[in-house]
Structure formats: structure tokens, C-alpha cells
Amino acid sequence: MNNKLTEEITYHILSNLGVLPSEFVNQDASRSIIDKQFLLTEKISFQMEGQTINKSIYGCQLNFTNKFFKLILADCSQDSDIPEFAIIIHPPDAPTYGLYLAFTKLVADPPDPEAMIAIKNDQHWIPCTTFLQATFLAGMEQLRDQIVGWKLCVNYQGEYQDLLSFVKFHSNYFGVSHEG
């Protein structure tokens, strides 16, 4: 697996969704999924220095002939200088994907961005091969211009649980201490 390619693909997808800044997305003409209209009541919690930190979760969906394409995004930032995000993407009639990225391009001495793209196979998360990452990116490129059709996510408890399990999987994979 090519870690730099995983980082760039994850960054590209999060930028296209208006989550991260980029030179290739017109932020004025785009709408971000990090918007109060997509804010969910659930939170994601982390333990930091003996305190529980609660962070926001956003969710939106597109309707494709009564089948829903759902996104659930969590702000996993633990350092104010390094935004971190986990996102679950669940296309209709397809497996669920999880993406994670610490956006380290804003700091002088960046840590590992811990980029990951994984797929859920039954009840287990598996890091995607380069081929699966490229296929997933191609699918996400087809959705890039659909952001205006996004609605607040409903009936998302399965995706919310997937988000929590994905963050736990990512934490175990990289040996970091996120608790959801």
C-alpha cells in the first residue's frame, strides 16, 4: 500500500466535500458538508489529559431512486493546529468505506497524517488496496457536483456505529488513543 497515495486520495475526497481547504476546489461555489444544517445530535468523545472531549458529527445523504448514499463525518481533532477527520461513506447496495486524515499541511514539522481508506467486510474493517482506493476515488469523483442535493441524514444509526468502529479500528491500527 502506498501511504502517500492514500493521503492524497483522502485529502482530495475531503477537499471535494468542502471539509479541507484546497487550491482545486472553489470554496465560494461549493457547499461544505461541515455545515450546521448537517449537524447531528450525536457526538464523538475522546479522552485527553484526563478530560473527555466531545466533538461534532455531521451527516448527509443523497437519494437515488429510494436508495440512499450516506456520509457521516466526525471531527476527530485533538490539536487545534491539526484538523483530523473520520468519515464513513455508505453507497447504496455497496460496502461501507471509512476514511481518516490528519491534515498536517498547516504545520511546520508535521506528524504522520495517519491517512487511511478502509472497507467494511461483514463486521471487520480492512485497509483498502491501491486498486480499491482508485476505484473508490473514481466513484467519489462522480458525486463531486452533487453537493447541492445533499439533505440531512436520517436513519443513520448503522452508519454512526460504523463510524465509531472505524475510528477504533484506525486508532488500533496506528496505535493512537482515540476513544469513541
Give the model confidence (pLDDT) of 157-176 as tens digits.
999 999 999 999 999 998 86
Residue 75: inside a domain, yes or no? yes
Residue 70: inside a domain, yes or no? yes
Residue 95: inside a domain, yes or no? yes
Residue 175: inside a domain, yes or no? no
Residue 165: inside a domain, yes or no? yes
Say how many domains are in the chain: 1
Residue 176: inside a domain, yes or no? no
Residue 22: inside a domain, yes or no? yes
Domain residue limits at 122 = 3-170
pTM: 0.89
Give the pLDDT confidence of 104-154 residue by residue, as tens digits: 876 777 777 889 999 999 889 999 999 999 999 988 887 766 555 789 999
Q: For residues 149 and 61, give the distance between their C-alpha atoms in angstroms, rounded to a whole number.
A: 8
